[in-house]
Amino acid sequence: MSPLLEIKNIETYYGLIYALRGISLSVDKGTITAILGNNGAGKSTILKTVMGLIDDQPDKGTIEFMGKPINGKDTEWIVRKGISYVPEGREVFEELTVRENLAMGAYIRGDRSGIKRDFEKVYNYFPVLKTRRNQWAGTLSGGEQQMLSIGRALMSRPVLLFLDEPSLGLSPLLLREIFKIVGTINAEGTTILLVEQNARMALRISHFGLILENGRFVLKGRSEELMEDKDVQEFFMGIRSEASIKGYQRWKRKKRWR
């Protein structure tokens, strides 16, 4: 079976800055794929390149969605084909209400009954949005704005959902809540490509992971395998490289009582 999204040997520049250096990746239908890396590694650039948000088109390589090339297409065309993007920093329409923001996500659709059902679906994922549906989005907390941004993207009924740093600025409690809902969205049929710095949380909910450094992938694999990788543990999860995850937990319990 062909991947839902396949990127081959993409090179992307910001002016003279070489941002993506011949990267390739595939996203299988029904999965969560996580791209991990430090600030400036090029994670967000991958999503923006696919979405047609980079002024200069990739100099080399191809991007295929559902087996069809989408290089050079504009963002609205790509959204209509079934990819939605939740940007880093949320970017809600602050002077519109919660409900109006969600309606903006459905602007490409004309099926009123389906849109009505999807409003309720989003409210089921994020009950606080229903409570605040007539409130201006700019008055929401950061966590509520993140929920709204995800809900707005879901209103286009995407086949593939891009999430760019959804953990940014969230408390640990809210972070767990958001990621639990992301897992539910995936379990109900939406494929997800997740860009994230929080490697521990991202690998827990994803099926596959890729580590990006300086515009190149340096490690790929199943998420459970990456969680056991000593370099990933040390540099992305803050775990001593000589300990496995289980070993580290035992070590931490012993240290607590000394």
Mean per-residue pLDDT pooled into runs of 10, the chain (258 residues)? 91 81 94 92 92 78 94 93 93 96 95 96 96 96 94 97 92 91 96 94 95 92 93 74 50 43
Burial class (CB in 10 A: 0-12, 13-18, 19+), 20: buried
Decide: 4 and 28 in contact? Cβ < 8 Å: yes
User: Tokens in use for 188?
Assistant: 């109900």
pLDDT for the residue numbered 171? 87
- Length of the chain (residues): 258
How many C-beta atoms surround the C-beta of residue 188 within 10 A? 9
- Of 162, 105, 158, 164, the residue nearest 129 (C-alpha): 105
What distance in Å separates the CA atoms of residue 40 and residue 199, rounded to the nearest whole number?
A: 16
Q: What is the pLDDT of residue 256?
A: 44
CATH 3.40.50.300 range(s) for the chain read 1-82+159-172+189-258
CA gap 232, 180 in Å, rounded: 22
**Residue 2: predicted pLDDT:** 81
Q: Is 16 exposed, middle or buried (0-12, 13-18, 19+ CB in 10 A)?
A: exposed
Rounded Cα–Cα distance for residues 53 and 168 (Å): 21
**Which DSSP letter does residue 211 get?**
E
CB of 184 within 8 A of CB of 10? Answer: no
Fold topology of 1-82+159-172+189-258: Rossmann fold (3.40.50)
pLDDT value of residue 258: 34
pLDDT at 32: 98
Whether pTM exceeds 0.85: yes
Which pLDDT does position 92 carry in this prediction?
94
Q: Are 212 and 42 in contact (CB under 8 A)?
A: yes
Q: Record the tokens describing residue 98, joined without a space.
A: 């919660």
Which stretches within the chain are classed as H helix?
A: 43-50, 75-81, 98-105, 112-125, 127-131, 142-154, 172-187, 199-205, 223-228, 230-236, 245-256
Do 46 and 26 form a contact (C-beta atoms < 8 A)?
A: no
